[in-house]
Amino acid sequence: MKNLIRRDEYIKQLLEARKKEIIKPDTINEFNLQKGEGMTSPTSNLSTEETRILMELMERENLFKVTEAFPSQKKSLTLKRFFKMKRNQQVEVYSKAGGKTFYTEGKVSAIGRNFVMITDLKDRIWIPFEAIESANIPFGIPNYSNTHQHFIYDNNLREKLVRDFGKTVSQRDVLLQQFNEETFHTNLGRWKGTWVEIYYLDDNKTYGKLDGATKEVISVARLNNKEEIPLASITYVKSIRFLQALSKMFKLGK
């Protein structure tokens, strides 16, 4: 049975305990008060740098626990985590398209649930996670532990996000990637009108202007021809310029 205590005795004990409490200076809140801002609650009893390291450690530990419990999701979850750590940084990716091995080097521009988009000075490349064999940092490139981005605080943007979140996010690709994980077909669908070369189903490939994308197929069009490729069979998509597409048409005679 629990020991009962009167309220006035409980308050007395609390006051005594508070007298013995060691009060640590809170530099962050002191600085905020000097600027006329409110106080913030600490996320833990550790220093901010210790808390940050602990959070990263917990996130990685959770990833390994989840992949152990669901081995079928290990590849996609691990790749997604790696590419998110390297957003806007240089990476190298080895992928399979039928019997061919593709080497792709460029900047991580977008990460979705089941794909990554990499860009270089000329091209934009989409690679489904299932086709990726290996992903790494190119030799000689500095390994940054974060996304190495520069942020500009925009009060106008903050106001728009508070008052019209959906419309604001949907109109900006950068915000859309931060708040929503797109799928392979939804991202391709937003690039409608872009000329691309698509590798699919063993060593087959085709090209054309992106005309639409669904959960089942990707549609491309060239001149009066329209072609649909099953989404599940696609292993590599690369943007091409109109002159390149024109050259291919003359070579193939269509």
> Residue 66 belongs to what H/E stretch?
helix 48-69
Read off the tokens for 124: 């934009």
The pLDDT of residue 146 is 57
Gap between the Cα atoms of 79 and 114, Å rounded: 9
Strands, DSSP E only, in 52-99?
90-97
pLDDT tens readout for residues 8-49: 888 988 888 888 887 777 787 788 888 887 777 777 777 888
Mean of per-residue pLDDT scores for the chain: 84
Helix and strand totals (H; E) in the chain: 9, 10
Range of 2-6, 75-79, 157-161, 174-178 with top mean pLDDT? 75-79
153 has a pLDDT exceeding 60: no
Gap between the Cα atoms of 146 and 86, Å rounded: 7
Structural domains of the chain, ranges and CATH numbers in brackets? 155-252 (2.30.30.100)
148 has a pLDDT exceeding 60: no
The pLDDT of residue 182 is 86
